[in-house]
Structure 1
């Protein structure tokens, strides 16, 4: 039940609660050194209010948001409470124009997300299952629709709905020891939160069929080779190697023009679903959105003056 003393001391006094009126409260943490500086041996609270921890980085990392899943006893399985908390966190991020990138990670060593919480599912009435799956699917869709870059840092197993969550992110980074797979056919069901659609778009139709039909699980290195992950890194003793690589990538994105990055994501996401001619029209429309911005003028001025631009998202 108790959080390790060092962990509690690190986090004490930096939380604020958002959305308290909704009855579903997401912890938000500010400050630095939150994830990678946690002790190697960690114990976690079983309080459902701490199923999800959201941290807004500060200083030079301002604009990076880290969303940490924290359900150790359930292997970060997707429960009703976690879905509600993540929906609230995603909505808060969507409304915040200061956010420049999001990292989805786990605070539990060796696991990213084991998929649906089957223990909770077994207690549901049959009439409850459909609405819950629909809400989980809506969460993953909303995650995919966030206007800023999203990075899944997969330091452990991402199975079923856990992999579907990662597939909704723009970029996936794995440790070499991570395990990834859409394993639903083992339970005589199919991926129900976008896996049958996003996996083929990520790695191609034939390979996606093979992995889904066989319920195959691949390690991080193989996931990278297949195109399922952008990068695979060697795991470290703490167990957060993928997170650290994701943070490096977020820091590469952070200095770029935030409106430009959002428009680039929109142009890519919408353009990839249509023919080339329509896609070029989408690109033109998105380009038109950046022309009148102050950031574009700042970029030109910084180039002329040979200095680093100071973009404000305006």
Structure 2
């Protein structure tokens, strides 16, 4: 199968999926999310593939966020649908995949990009990587699982700070927080990910699939935080702050939020 926004390379039972929108810093749009879903479905069904690596093209960005131009004029209903569909097609799908998925974070991982990296089973970062969830600076909240997965990985307090300040952290900070497992020079990023993938590939694929399921189950509870996130994310689309935040972004100026 051929793709417009991603590249697929297979070598020694390891599949490397590269998000390839360099002019947009690999920002996620609907087409990219759909193509990632289709490619990962294909790899999941391929018994020869043992591990999947997801990365971005170039050396500037893993994924620098979502493509804001696609949803700046969305209604509350459309906002909820956007989050729900994205979680189903890609983020929840990746997290619950039976095959291990490693994020090779090569630069900016912001917004939906960090959410995609967090949906992967673990993360390796290049030294120049920067990570953050800047959504509140646009008058919205993370809608692809960020409010749920970030606290699981770094703790509630750090997650709250990252989300509320909309700031970025360095690769070293991410390492200290437990957000990434390793930080290496750019030229060592994919080689290390492939080395780890080879180690994983030496083990039982069936046991690994059960391990993934068991670990994920430990983070489930009676309150569905993801459904709560979808509701809140969608409601943001009906606020004046969202209208101002997205307009300011498009006009390349600082937002002046009315607080409503």
TM-score range, shorter chain: 0.7 to 0.9
* Count of paired positions: 220
Tell me the residue number matched to 1:217: 168
1:99 to 49, 54, 57: 49
Give TM-score, length-normalised by structure 1.
0.66
1:202 to 153, 178, 189: 153
Q: Which region of structure 1 is more displaced relative to structure 2, 124-133 or 246-255?
A: 124-133
DSSP-derived class of the 1:50 partner: coil
CA contact (8 A) 1:155 1:243 kept: no
Q: Aligned equivalents of 1:248 and 1:50: distance in 2? A: 28
CA contact (8 A) 1:102 1:151 kept: yes
CA contact (8 A) 1:152 1:169 kept: yes
1:169-248 equivalences in 2 (<5 Å): 169-236=120-187, 241-248=188-195
Give TM-score, length-normalised by structure 2.
0.79
Cα-Cα RMSD: 1.8
Gaps of 5+ in 2: 222-260
1:121-140 equivalences in 2 (<5 Å): 121-122=71-72, 125-126=74-75, 128-138=78-88, 139-140=90-91
DSSP-derived class of the 2:103 partner: strand
The alignment status of 1:268 with 2:215, answered yes or no, reads: yes
The alignment status of 1:255 with 2:255, answered yes or no, reads: no
Q: Aligned equivalents of 2:51 and 2:174: distance in 1? A: 23
Alpha-carbon displacement from aligned partner over 1:94-136 (angstroms, at most 9, x marks no partner): 32233211100112221100111012334x5536444333222
Tell me the residue number matched to 1:51: 5
Q: Aligned equivalents of 2:210 and 2:83: distance in 1? A: 31
Seen in structure 2, the aligned counterparts of structure 1 residues 185 and 272 have a Cα distance that, compared at 3 Å, is: closer
1:12-161 equivalences in 2 (<5 Å): 17=1, 27=2, 49-57=3-11, 61-62=12-13, 64-122=14-72, 125-126=74-75, 128-138=78-88, 139-161=90-112
Higher-Rg member (1/2):
1
Seen in structure 2, the aligned counterparts of structure 1 residues 272 and 84 have a Cα distance that, compared at 3 Å, is: closer
CA contact (8 A) 1:150 1:169 kept: yes
- Relative contact order (alpha carbons < 8 A, sep ≥ 6): 1 or 2 greater? 2
CA contact (8 A) 1:154 1:178 kept: yes
Gaps of 5+ in 1: 1-16, 18-26, 28-48, 275-314
Please state how far the C-alpha of 1:201 moved relative to its aligned partner: 0.4
DSSP-derived class of the 2:142 partner: coil
1:168 to 109, 112, 119: 119
